[in-house]
Structure 1
Amino acid sequence: MKKLILALNAYPVLPAHSPGESMNDWLRKAIGTLSSDQRRSADTHMIKLDLPRLGGIDLYLKDESTHPTGSLKHRLARSLFLHAICSGKITQDTPIVEASSGSTAISEAYFARLLGLHFTAVMPRSTAPRKIEQIERLGGHCHFVDHGPAVYAEAENLARRCNGHYMDQFTHAEAATDWRGNNNIAESIFTQLALEPHPIPRAIVMSAGTGGTSATLGRYLRYQGHATRLVGVDPENSVFYDSYHHGDRNLTTEACSRIEGIGRPRVEASFLPEVIDEMRRVPDAASIATIHWLEARIGKKAGGSTGTNLWGALSLAREMRERGETGSIVTLMCDGGERYLETYYNPRWIAEQIGDTSLYARMLEDID
């Protein structure tokens, strides 16, 4: 721990503040920097999948991998920094610590560098190597734990020891995001669908990591009075599905999700089951089969959480087709697959860690 704290003071970062600069001056500059990043970041693309056999059911994939840091977590990280700065938790000299399996840490490392702040990510040792490389390339430090559920206590302890701020995405995600609008992801989806054949989707499908995005989507749907259903999907080795169906927020598991970025060993504070209309479990093998199916159709790799989302959306589409219904369904591409070349796109890793995906690949053929 002592070596890690010393390392925090050794990273080359941009100057946090000028000599004689007051706290208010730094705060104004920090807010301006974050706001400028938001203006520079154009909205993400909405991909309409070409699936003629669905007949009258339009399926859209909002590609969040096009953010500057390559994932949906870019939105969250910016909101977390704004929330913490405006709440007085972060000043010009505050080290930032986060518990993360990778994507949030990449985005937070990006914003910490913009603001000239030290950043450390506490993560499982099994995190994809490409994510680790990206965090370090952005000037962050990676601190590993051998057991996934240990990230919370380790991050909190490290922040306390170095007099830093534990960002705690899992607690603050739902509070930090402006769910009423302000160009959040929900408002963006409906703006982009405005001229489509079915502008109000029958369902939005979303997996949960922190639970912050599903909370934003669910609140926005209710605020706007839309009839759209929010359908949650959860991978194996996660407690969200069981917690939703049993109403128990105290559930825990010692297992770790094999789908990075989603699924948790405990029910996170930002997970709000009250705004979710339905919750489904998705087998990990189905998630992996789906990202390979997607790559064959759009020529782009996606992370495993996209497979979980898309499998859920395709399942809903099949059910709508069987009932003779029409309409639209929206889900998210959470990040790109280039971060997972050693895992989700490595046949040996898939065989050892996930198993046979051929059953789900055959099921996907029914959609083509």
Structure 2
Amino acid sequence: MASISDSAWLARAISLLEADVQRSADTHLIALSLPALHADGIDLYLKDESTHPSGSLKHRLARSLFLYALCNGWVHEGTTIVEASSGSTAVSEAYFARLLELPFVAVMPRTTSAQKIAQITFYGGRCHFVDRADEVYDEAAQLARQCNGHYMDQFTFAERATDWRGNNNIADSMFSQMAHERFAVPSWIVVGAGTGGTSATIGRYLRYRKYPTRLCVPDPVGSVFAEYHRSGDAGLRGPGSRIEGIGRPRVEPSFLPTLVDRMIEVPDRQSIAAMQLLSELLGRRVGPSTGTNLVGMLQIAAEMRSAGERGSVLSLLCDAGERYLATYHDAQWVEQTFGDCSAERQQLDALLHR
């Protein structure tokens, strides 16, 4: 049985998380200015999740994971929080750990961007590095056992922690903001998958609200999600994605393929080219996973145009490009890591303007 002091701390912790919701205005919906597509009756939108206090879509997930852990009795005053993360989830969890005055450790690959590492340490978190992406799980669990802490395990609990029926999730916000647009109910929603929590939330919400909107997950090369969607083999293993924040080297429990209408496999150079194109279109940098989303949007838009279909396609601007200045937004690093992306850029430009 919880003591009076434990109960008081828990009540205060939940109140602090609820206050964070009230302090944070909803993220903006951006209508992309694409005259050629618009003239053909196709509108593209991005919900800008980079404006959250911790800078990414993962702010929503981190808050839900903390609430879930608190209400399950897994986290108490002084509990060390441990997470396996390639960056953005760790940044957001570090933000909330500081809010609740809890120690935080992020287990991540050494290749994680320096800007994300700096943000985690800014919020008081500590970074623990591993050599390969598939090592983060066991290392995080072991660290949590060693310090008698709690392994948050976003990859297992993302789809369980988010309330997909409620009026405060990302899907509900999307449809509320689309209400006065030319095509208020999107033909497609396009979202990449890291944990799979966002696609699960949106997919469930679409069914619950009886919307005809279809859900597409663009998956970067190296990830196993697309093959899992085809085969149903939960034992798949792969090298992992080089597009930071999405794709996984193994099938994650929170990725639910039954909710996804379509997967699009996206080559890395297309993701980078789309990231560059969108950054120029918006006049500010976006992250590489947003580039992957845009590739999926443009492919669907091209197919709608060819079929004479009209409608809207909605996706997410996951985080800002400032987190990737030394990597994905550095021309030399891109050339050395991915090669020349100019051909892919020309192909995407053609989809936009023909």
User: Per-residue displacement from partner, 1:188-209 (whole Å, max 9, x unpaired)?
Assistant: 0000000111010000001100
Q: Tell me the equivalent position of 2:74.
A: 89
- Taking the aligned partners of 1:313 and 1:78, their CA distance within structure 2 comes to 28
- Taking the aligned partners of 1:240 and 1:256, their CA distance within structure 2 comes to 10
Q: How does 1:1-368 map to 2 (within 5 A)?
A: 22-54=5-37, 55-253=40-238, 255-366=239-350, 367-368=352-353
What's the TM-score once normalised by structure 1's chain length? Answer: 0.93
- Taking the aligned partners of 2:307 and 2:52, their CA distance within structure 1 comes to 37
- Taking the aligned partners of 1:261 and 1:69, their CA distance within structure 2 comes to 15
Identity %: 60
Structure 2 counterpart SS, 1:232: strand
Contact kept? 1:98, 1:168, Cα under 8 Å: yes
- Taking the aligned partners of 2:279 and 2:107, their CA distance within structure 1 comes to 31
**Structure 1 residue 258 displacement after superposition:** 0.9
**Structure 1 residue 345 displacement after superposition:** 0.8
- Taking the aligned partners of 2:230 and 2:343, their CA distance within structure 1 comes to 27
User: Per-residue displacement from partner, 1:314-359 (whole Å, max 9, x unpaired)?
Assistant: 1101111111111000010110000001111111111111112112
User: Between Structure 1 and Structure 2, how many residues are aligned?
Assistant: 348
User: Unaligned regions of 5+ residues in structure 2, if any?
Assistant: none
Contact kept? 1:169, 1:210, Cα under 8 Å: yes
- Taking the aligned partners of 1:257 and 1:319, their CA distance within structure 2 comes to 26
User: Per-residue displacement from partner, 1:10-47 (whole Å, max 9, x unpaired)?
Assistant: xxxxxxxxxx9711100110000000001111000110
Return the letter of the residue paired with 1:149.
D
**Structure 1 residue 296 displacement after superposition:** 1.3
- Taking the aligned partners of 2:46 and 2:78, their CA distance within structure 1 comes to 40
Contact kept? 1:181, 1:220, Cα under 8 Å: no
- Taking the aligned partners of 1:178 and 1:258, their CA distance within structure 2 comes to 30
Return the letter of the residue paired with 2:26.
D
User: Per-residue displacement from partner, 1:94-133 (whole Å, max 9, x unpaired)?
Assistant: 1000000000000000000000100000000000000000
User: Per-residue displacement from partner, 1:136-174 (whole Å, max 9, x unpaired)?
Assistant: 010000000011110000000000000000000000000
Contact kept? 2:224, 2:240, Cα under 8 Å: no
- Taking the aligned partners of 2:107 and 2:142, their CA distance within structure 1 comes to 11
- Taking the aligned partners of 1:147 and 1:185, their CA distance within structure 2 comes to 31
Spell out structure 1 runs of 4+ moving beyond 4 A.
none
Superposed CA RMSD: 0.9
Contact kept? 2:246, 2:289, Cα under 8 Å: yes
Q: Tell me the equivalent position of 1:10.
A: none
User: Per-residue displacement from partner, 1:57-98 (whole Å, max 9, x unpaired)?
Assistant: 010011100000000000000000000000000001210000
**Structure 1 residue 256 displacement after superposition:** 3.0
